[in-house]
A and B are shown apart, each in its own frame.
Chain A
Amino acid sequence: MNFPENLKYTKDHEWAKIDGTQITVGITDHAQSALGDVVFVELPKVGRDLKAGETFGVVESIKAVSDLYSPVSGKVLAVNDAVVGEPSSVNRDPHTSAWLIKIETSDASALSGLMDSTAYSAFVSSIK
């Protein structure tokens, strides 16, 4: 299992990459592994306002449906249409090319509540 150190993590198994007020969001390696073969991804429209913890889309594997939760509040700047077209990329490369959305955050302070890679790795071990 891979837990890149440059990312922050939620208890719902999203990762967030922080570039100033611009936050890139995806699902973690653990999440894609638990889901299995991802066959469907639904993402929000650019411009949508999200609150921290709000559902912004879904990832579906052959067997399961999993909601996606925004780690921060803000406006959707971009969505990764390539992933919608090729959902299996979430299994192959969850932390980089299969990012899901970019958010311009209005409240960067919420980021302090996210886990670093060490804490998230321990969290994943604890729920197994």
Chain B
Amino acid sequence: MTQLKRTALFEEHVKLGGRLIDFGGWELPVQYSGVMDEHLACRTAAGLFDVSHMGEILVSGGDAERFLYHLVSNDVSKMEIGQAQYSILCRHNGSSVDDLIVYRRTENDYLVVVNASNTDKDFEWMKKIHEEGRFACRLENVSSEWSQIAIQGPRATEILQSLTRAKLSEVKTFRFIEDWINGVPAILSRTGYTGEDGFEIYVPWNEAPKVWSTLVEKGAEFGLKPCGLGARDTLRLEVKYPLYGHELDDETNPVEAGLGWAVKTDKTEFVGKEALAAAKTGDVRKKLVGIGFLAPGIPRQGYKIFSPDGLKEVGVITSGTQSPCLKKSIGLAFVDPAHSVVGTKLLIEIRGNRVPIEVIPTPFYKRPDERREE
């Protein structure tokens, strides 16, 4: 048996009664008080997440911008210092190596945050592209030196503000500042994976327990709860954020996964541009859609989807659950583009039975302040 990796917060998870599981080789809590309870706490007050397993890669040097412009799907040349940008790392055929966030720290220094289980694969791919283009910049995998804590929810900013002199109200969405929190140097980034307002906090690996336990303590009176991987998954699914291994993988391009907005085919060049430009003009094999249920059942990854007459397999579920906020079954699925229009009725196979479903609009859940009067 291989030894599971632990984050700097392992002891904190044990203390808080977290139920630990093997998550891609990391021993992490799937839940503390319960997925439902944690999910609702994050939507109504605040949730605290240990995401230290995520990978961090530094790109620095005179060619850093030119390298990242070539490497990823979004346009880093449009970024200001202090800005964060979602992007996809693609191969020449357009398929996804990973999805990631690029942070511009100075003119020539970037931080790239990637999915934990893809870190080594991503770093190898980045080195390969770097060597091919002879870019004058340095790549450094610092994943083991940085912890990441996410605080998310309507009360998150207030809670975090009590630990720092930085003016958090001045940090806009997808912006970050580098400042001190609780006596620890940190990157405070107004980003997240829940659909809520909040911050992702990067601190030196060993400083994480101090920051975490102070946030747990200070947050309690605001209704903050520590949240495990279970709630992290249901929260992101309600707002249709993709999860690598589900909505994105080595066979899928970002346009198929509904991420065309982060693929800037107006750039002069980048890895995968031709394939992705073709995908944008409609050359796709599948489309990611939201699924709602017309009869009881809960969709799960891998469940097959059939045409209304039941004769043709037209898709597959990538993620599914019962939404803790909506109390309804929700799912994401890749379907044949011909069956991807909202309102299309289809069938899903669950344990040998065919259950009627429908393509529905996404995101499934919107924050109260984002809902428009219909």
Residues of A bordering B, CB below 8 Å: 36-37, 39-40, 42, 58, 60-63, 65
Contact = CB atoms under 8 A, between A and B. Distances in A.
B298 A60 contact: yes
A37 B34 contact: yes
Given A39-B298, A63-B233, A63-B321, 18 more contacts: A36-B31, A36-B34, A36-B35, A36-B36, A37-B35, A37-B36, A39-B322, A40-B297, A40-B298, A40-B322, A42-B296, A58-B351, A60-B298, A60-B322, A62-B230, A62-B322, A62-B324, A63-B35
Given A62-B35, A63-B30, A63-B230, A40 B296 contact: yes
A62 B321 contact: yes
Contacts of B230: 36, 62-63
A37 B228 CA distance: 14
Contacts of B297: 40
B300 interface: yes
Interface residues of B, number: 16
B330 to A, nearest CB: 11
Contacts of B298: 39-40, 60, 65
A42 B329 CA distance: 15
B234 interface: yes
Nearest to B324: A62
Nearest to A34: B19
B317 to A, nearest CB: 12
Q: Which 3 A-B pairs have the closest CB atoms?
A: A37-B36, A39-B322, A62-B35
Interface in B295-347: 296-298, 300, 321-322, 324
Contacts of A63: 30, 35, 230, 233, 321
A67 to B, nearest CB: 9
Residue among B230, B233, B234, B324 with max Cβ neighbours from chain A (10 Å): B230
Contact of B36 (A58, A60, A62): A62
A36 B36 CA distance: 9
A21 B321 CA distance: 38
Nearest to A60: B298
Contacts of B322: 39-40, 60, 62
Residue among A37, A40, A60 with max Cβ neighbours from chain B (10 Å): A37
A39 B323 CA distance: 10
Contacts of A40: 296-298, 322
A65 B296 CA distance: 14
Interface in B4-63: 30-31, 34-36
Nearest to B327: A39
25 contacts: A36-B34, A36-B35, A36-B36, A37-B34, A37-B35, A37-B36, A37-B324, A39-B298, A39-B322, A40-B296, A40-B298, A40-B322, A42-B296, A61-B35, A62-B35, A62-B36, A62-B230, A62-B322, A62-B324, A63-B30, A63-B35, A63-B230, A63-B321, A65-B298, A65-B300
B141 to A, nearest CB: 31
B41 to A, nearest CB: 13
Contacts of B233: 63
Contacts of B324: 37, 62
A63 B297 CA distance: 14
B234 A62 contact: yes
